[in-house]
Amino acid sequence: MNLEFFKKTRILDGGMGQELLARGLVSKGTLWSASAILEKKFHNLVTDVHLSFINAGAEVIVTNTFVGRKIRLIENKVEEHFNYINEQACILAIKAKEISKKNILIAGSLPSQTDTYVEDKRDSTSIEKDFYEQAKIIGPHVDFFYLDVVSSGREVDIASNIALKLNKPILLGIHIKKNNLLPSNETISEVFRKYKNSNWIGLVTACVSPEIAENCSSEIKELKIPFGFKANLWKVDEPTPVQTFNTAKYDEVGTNPNVALGKRAYVSGKLFYDFSKKLVEKGATILGGCCETTPEHIKAISQLK
C-alpha cells in the first residue's frame, strides 16, 4: 500500500462489535463480536456490517478480530478455534470488499493481548508470543495492521517490530486517559520518540471519548505524523476493565458491554460531524469511530473528505 495514504483525509469504519449486537447478534460469554465468527449463522451479518460502513463512506474497514486474542478465547474455553476465528474474520472482510466493488483497504485488528484499557504488565516474551501468533494469521489477508487500543509504549514497540518482520505497515491505535497519558502513565510524545518505527503510517487515539480525542490532538500534531481518532460513544468517558461487563462463559448468554458503560444515544451523525470537523481543523486526517458509532456517524463524517 501507499505508505503516505493517511497524509490525505481518510475515513475509517465505526464500531463493529456494538453494531453487530444492535443488529441481533447474541453474544456468548465475553466473546461478544467473536461469537459472530464462531457461529456461521452470523457470518452474513458480519459481512453486512462491513458493507454498511463501506457504503457510508469508509475507505478502510477493520477485521473483526478484536476479541480473537488468545487470552479471551481461553477464558471462554474455545481456544481451539483461535486460528479459525482470526482467519475467518479476515475472509468475511475480504468478501465485503469484493461485494462492494470499491477500492477500500482492509486493516487487521491487532488488539492489546490482555484486558482492554489497561497496560499489559506481563514479561515481554509472553506479549511478543501472543502478538505474533495472532499477527501471522491475519497478516496475509490485510493491507496493514491496526494496533487496536493498546495501553503502553512497550506493547507499541513489540507489535511494531512484529509488523516490520511480517513486512506490514502499522497504524497505531493508542488508548489515552483523561489526563492525556496512556494507562502506563507515559505521554504520547514519550512513546513516539522512544519507539518510533519505520513502518508507522499514522497514529490515532483509540476507543476514547470525543473530548479526550480533542484534548490530546495538539500534542499529537507536534509529532509530524498523520493522526486522528477512532472515538467511542460510551456514556462513561474513561472506561476500565474494573467495570464489570459479565462473568458468563461461552456456554452462557453474555451481556452487552453498554449495560456497564452506557451509550451516548443523543450523539447524532451531525454532532459527530461537528466534533470531527474541529479535529480536522486541528490537522487530523484519520477519521473514524469505535464502540457505539454507527454507519450514520461514518456517513456524516465522510462529508469531511
pLDDT at 210: 98
The per-residue pLDDT for 271 is 98
3-state secondary structure the chain: CCCCHHHCCEEECCCHHHHHHHCCCCCECCCHHHHHHHCHHHHHHHHHHHHHHHHHCCCEEECCCHHHCHHHHHHCCCHHHHHHHHHHHHHHHHHHHHHHCCCCEEEEEEECCCCCCCCCCCCHHHHHHHHHHHHHHHHHHCCEEEEEEECCHHHHHHHHHHHHHCCCCEEEEECCCCCCECCCCCEHHHHHHHHCCCCEEEEEEEEECHHHHHHCHHHHHCCCCCEEEEECCECCCCCCCCCCCCCCCCCCECCCCHHHHCECCCCCHHHHHHHHHHHHHCCCCEEEECCCCCHHHHHHHHHHC
pTM, to two decimals:
0.96
Q: What is the pLDDT of residues 168-211, one digit of tens each?
A: 999 999 999 999 999 999 999 999 999 999 999 999 999 999 99
Average pLDDT, the chain: 95
CATH code that applies to domain 5-304: 3.20.20.330
Start-to-end C-alpha separation, the chain: 20
Q: What is the pLDDT of residues 224-247, one digit of tens each?
A: 999 999 999 999 988 987 655 555
Average pLDDT per 10 consecutive residues for the chain, totaling 305 residues: 96 97 92 95 98 98 97 93 98 98 98 96 98 98 98 98 98 97 98 96 98 97 98 92 60 83 96 98 98 98 97
CA proximity to 234, closest of 259, 216, 255, 215: 259
Q: Could you state, in order of their start, the residue ranges of all structural domains in the chain?
A: 5-304
